[in-house]
Chain A
Amino acid sequence: MPAKILIVDDHEVVREGVKTLIMGSRPEWTICGEASNGEQAIQAIENLKPDVVVLDVTMPKMSGFDAAIKIADLKLGCRVLIFTMHESDRLPHDVRAAQAQGFVLKTQAARDLIRAIECVLAGGTFFGSETVPV
């Protein structure tokens, strides 16, 4: 199943790593674009209409959570996966509040990211290791 994916992170090394990971696992998916902050992400979504956005939280200009809310407001059907280093008990709550469909910890990217993308593409959510199928 083909899919268009947008990668948003202010660190180039992270974007590069994610790209390598996805392309290595699911060659049928397309990395349609990259952005290094929230504002760029909104613009890219409007232009590229990706299926899934992998969205970093800590970024200059606009944080991942703020961007997620705006993305939901666009109502383009774009699925959002929060991609963060910040592991905390509050994280699931914050993610839901931002109307994102799930999150993946950067430290668990190799294990979770592909599964998570698949899950949200199928219309489900991904909160940590627990997947909620449709």
Chain B
Amino acid sequence: MPTDSVLTSSPARDALTTGVQGHAVQLYSDNAHLMDVLTRFVGNTLLAGNVALVIATLAHKRQLERRLSALGLAPASAALRTRYITLDASETLSRLLIEGTVDRGRFNEIVSQVFARLQSAVSSQDCRVAVFGELVALLWAQGKPREALRVEQFWNELAKKQSFSLLCAYPVASFTHENHLEPFLKLCGLHSSVVPTGSPMESSSEEEHLRTIAQLQQKTEEYEKQLALRQTEQQFRLLVEAVQDYAIFMLDPDGHVRTWNLGAERIKQYTATDIIGKHFSTFYPEEDVRNGKPQWELVIAAKDGRFEDEGWRLRKDGSRFWANVTITALRDKSGKLVGFTKVTRDFTERMQVQRALQKEVTERRAAEQQLHRSEKSLRKLSLHLLRTQDEERKRIGRDLHDSLGQYLAVLKMKLESLASPAGQNGSAATELARCIQLAEDCIKEVRTVSYLLYPPMLEERGLKSAIPWYLDGFSARSGIHTTFEAEPSFGRLPRDSELALFRVLQESLTNVHRHSGSQTARVRLSMKEGMGVLQIEDQGKGISSDFLEQSGQDWMGAPGVGLRGMNERMRQLGGKLELFSDQGGTRVSAMVPGEPTAPPD
């Protein structure tokens, strides 16, 4: 809006000083002032030999003519010479209106006729026409600002074809209603100058005029700003109301709902009528309300200016949704808390996706760790198995070489001596007896070595016979005293189970011998809940708790080096291995099913 040009252009100054040029508007608060201005406007026109058209109310017409007469300007005589024409504003308006709307055609027709009459009265081409109009003021007063503006527009259109000075007048009292602001600004825009209330024409000082203009300008700018602000607010309100993805609403300082938008309705299911005036704790689950969470959130928001939260909230139907909530405190210029805005988003889906993702990540990580552990333990196990196998081979090799080999070498030596003529001189009978003894030793040795590899007794007669046989040999080799008890009812187990238990026995006794320091070992065989149970107990120093803790679930890995492999074997058979150890000794319990079972995957 070209406010500046309206107010500071030279026509405006002309209007204020010498009369009215262009299209000026006079705002007046008291009638006397208007009359002063009008008298000057018309008076100057007539004095200068120009012509005037006055469209005024009857009252204004009478007052004007009285004043003109007082100045000696004889309006009646001027009227006779058609240098001065008056139209009754009310009557003219009724002629212009068609169904409540000012008709452009009629306006042009009426005004043109009057202009023609005025112009016919003067011969000079320089003669100027001055027009005063109150049609607009009437329309405004009737509550038709739009029509008033149209009339102003018609005048402006006419001014493009014909030259005249126009002065409009509005009582300032008309602009009381705030709805008038926008039309008022438009109105100002339709005029080449705006003459403020007061008596600027009487003021002699240019400075005074400028001050008045500035004041008016300021006022206009304020109007404009207010209007812009109001428009922005309006647009913003519409925007907020239309938002669907966010529940945006306001709370009063106590937490009662003040406004509601579409998003709030969509997310929380309440309509504006349902919820406005209710306390916002309605949206919280019972436990939160009990804990005072809603109120506490307001306290934080009021203190920090803002509060953010994620958590469960309730819909109208009682169902829960995962909400992302931001509460912002609203304060007026003085800092007083006037309420809160609350923005709520439904994050249920996002939360679920996130949780699912998190769960997957956790599971995957656990699986990876498990796999890593398994791999590690498998490596350890296979390394151990290889080592055990090597040791076993070494032992067997040594046994074969050291005992059997030597026996056989000596046997051969003796037999060769006997065969040679040189050797015949000794006692052949004694030497032959030695040879027979050596052959027997060889047979015994072969049996021992092969039995340790796989006791034939185990297969033929079962654990109950194989164990005491093995214990005898072990005691003889190690010097450790062993005892053996077997439940009378203990019968045969599946072949694999018997062999596995026998290996546990060998491994455990090796550990007793190597690590425990125990001088005794007790072995028991029993049946428990359909499982064959083998227990090996020593009275040694036990496995240190440090060691057990350190190796964690890998306890099988070290103390009973081979126990781990045994455990693996037990599991394959659907059984298990348990280790108990304290300062009083160590107990290994191995359990396998009494009946064959399918190995676990």
- CB pair A109–B413 under 8 Å, yes or no, is yes
- CB pair A107–B422 under 8 Å, yes or no, is no
Contacts of B415 in A (CB 8 A): 110
Asked if B103 CB lies within 8 Å of chain A CBs, one says: no
Asked if B293 CB lies within 8 Å of chain A CBs, one says: no
Asked if B371 CB lies within 8 Å of chain A CBs, one says: no
Known A24-B422, A24-B423, A25-B423; judge A14-B431 contact (CB<8 A): no
Contacts of A14 in B (CB 8 A): 406, 409-410
Contacts of B412 in A (CB 8 A): 107, 109-110
B506 to nearest A CB, angstroms? 24
Q: Once the chains are docked, how many angstroms separate the CA of A58 from the CA of B397?
A: 13
Asked if B49 CB lies within 8 Å of chain A CBs, one says: no
Q: Once the chains are docked, how many angstroms separate the CA of A18 from the CA of B312?
A: 96
B375-418 contacts to A (CB < 8 Å): 401-403, 405-407, 409-410, 412-417
Q: Once the chains are docked, how many angstroms separate the CA of A20 from the CA of B401?
A: 22
- CB pair A11–B416 under 8 Å, yes or no, is no
**Which of A13, A25, A58, A107 has the most chain B CB atoms inside 10 A of its CB?**
A13
Q: Once the chains are docked, how many angstroms separate the CA of A25 from the CA of B441?
A: 26
Q: Mark B234-274, 1 if CB is under 8 A from A, else 0.
A: 00000000000000000000000000000000000000000
Sorted from nearest, which 5 A-B pairs have the closest CB atoms? A110-B416, A17-B410, A106-B409, A109-B413, A11-B406
- CB pair B417–A11 under 8 Å, yes or no, is no
Asked if A93 CB lies within 8 Å of chain B CBs, one says: no
What would 6 A/B residue contacts be, using CB atoms closer than 8 Å? Answer: A17-B409, A58-B402, A85-B405, A106-B406, A107-B409, A109-B416
Asked if B24 CB lies within 8 Å of chain A CBs, one says: no
Contacts of A25 in B (CB 8 A): 417, 422-423
A6-53 contacts to B (CB < 8 Å): 11, 13-14, 16-18, 20-21, 23-25
Contacts of B406 in A (CB 8 A): 11, 13-14, 85, 106
Contacts of A20 in B (CB 8 A): 414, 417, 426, 431, 434
Q: Count how many pairs of residues, one from A and one from B, have CB atoms less than 8 Å apart in the complex.
A: 59
How many chain B residues touch A (CB < 8 A): the figure is: 23
Q: Once the chains are docked, how many angstroms separate the CA of A126 from the CA of B53?
A: 160
Q: Once the chains are docked, how many angstroms separate the CA of A46 from the CA of B434?
A: 33
18 additional A-B pairs beyond A17-B409, A24-B426, beta carbons within 8 Å, are A11-B402, A13-B406, A13-B441, A14-B409, A14-B410, A20-B417, A20-B426, A21-B413, A24-B425, A85-B405, A85-B409, A106-B409, A106-B413, A109-B409, A109-B413, A110-B412, A110-B415, A110-B416
**Majority-rule SS of B interface residues:** helix
Asked if B204 CB lies within 8 Å of chain A CBs, one says: no
A22 to nearest B CB, angstroms? 10
Q: Once the chains are docked, how many angstroms separate the CA of A110 from the CA of B434?
A: 16
Measuring CB to CB, which residues of chain B are less than 8 angstroms from any residue of chain A?
Answer: 401-403, 405-407, 409-410, 412-417, 420, 422-423, 425-426, 431, 434, 438, 441
Q: Once the chains are docked, how many angstroms separate the CA of A18 from the CA of B412?
A: 11
B515 to nearest A CB, angstroms? 22
Measuring CB to CB, which residues of chain A are less than 8 angstroms from any residue of chain B?
Answer: 11, 13-14, 16-18, 20-21, 23-25, 58, 85, 106-107, 109-111
Q: Once the chains are docked, how many angstroms separate the CA of A66 from the CA of B566?
A: 41
Q: Once the chains are docked, how many angstroms separate the CA of A66 from the CA of B417?
A: 31
Contacts of B405 in A (CB 8 A): 85, 106
**Majority-rule SS of A interface residues:** helix
**Which of B413, B417, B420, B434 has the most chain A CB atoms inside 10 A of its CB?**
B413
B57 to nearest A CB, angstroms? 143
Q: Once the chains are docked, how many angstroms separate the CA of A93 from the CA of B407?
A: 27
Partner of A13 from B401, B417, B423, B438 at Cβ < 8 Å: B438
Contacts of B414 in A (CB 8 A): 17, 20-21
Contacts of B416 in A (CB 8 A): 109-111
Question: Which residue of the partner chain A has the closest CB to B419?
Answer: A110
Question: Which residue of the partner chain B has the closest CB to A23?
Answer: B426
- CB pair A13–B402 under 8 Å, yes or no, is no
Question: Which residue of the partner chain B has the closest CB to A13?
Answer: B410
Partner of B417 from A16, A85, A110 at Cβ < 8 Å: A110
- CB pair A110–B410 under 8 Å, yes or no, is no
Question: Which residue of the partner chain B has the closest CB to A110?
Answer: B416
Question: Which residue of the partner chain B has the closest CB to A105?
Answer: B409
**Which of A14, A18, A109, A110 has the most chain B CB atoms inside 10 A of its CB?**
A110
A69 to nearest B CB, angstroms? 23
Q: Once the chains are docked, how many angstroms separate the CA of A68 from the CA of B393?
A: 29
Contacts of B438 in A (CB 8 A): 13
A112 to nearest B CB, angstroms? 11
A109 to nearest B CB, angstroms? 5
Q: Once the chains are docked, how many angstroms separate the CA of A109 from the CA of B426?
A: 18
Q: Once the chains are docked, how many angstroms separate the CA of A18 from the CA of B416?
A: 12
Q: Once the chains are docked, how many angstroms separate the CA of A106 from the CA of B423?
A: 18
Q: Once the chains are docked, how many angstroms separate the CA of A58 from the CA of B406?
A: 11
- CB pair A16–B410 under 8 Å, yes or no, is yes
**Which of B406, B422, B425, B438 has the most chain A CB atoms inside 10 A of its CB?**
B406
Contacts of A85 in B (CB 8 A): 401, 405-406, 409
Contacts of A106 in B (CB 8 A): 405-406, 409-410, 413
Question: Which residue of the partner chain A has the closest CB to B411?
Answer: A17
- CB pair A17–B413 under 8 Å, yes or no, is yes
- CB pair B410–A24 under 8 Å, yes or no, is no
Q: Once the chains are docked, how many angstroms separate the CA of A85 from the CA of B408?
A: 11
Question: Which residue of the partner chain B has the closest CB to A15?
Answer: B410
Q: Once the chains are docked, how many angstroms separate the CA of A97 from the CA of B387?
A: 32
Q: Once the chains are docked, how many angstroms separate the CA of A110 from the CA of B9?
A: 146
**Which of B403, B415, B417, B431 has the most chain A CB atoms inside 10 A of its CB?**
B417
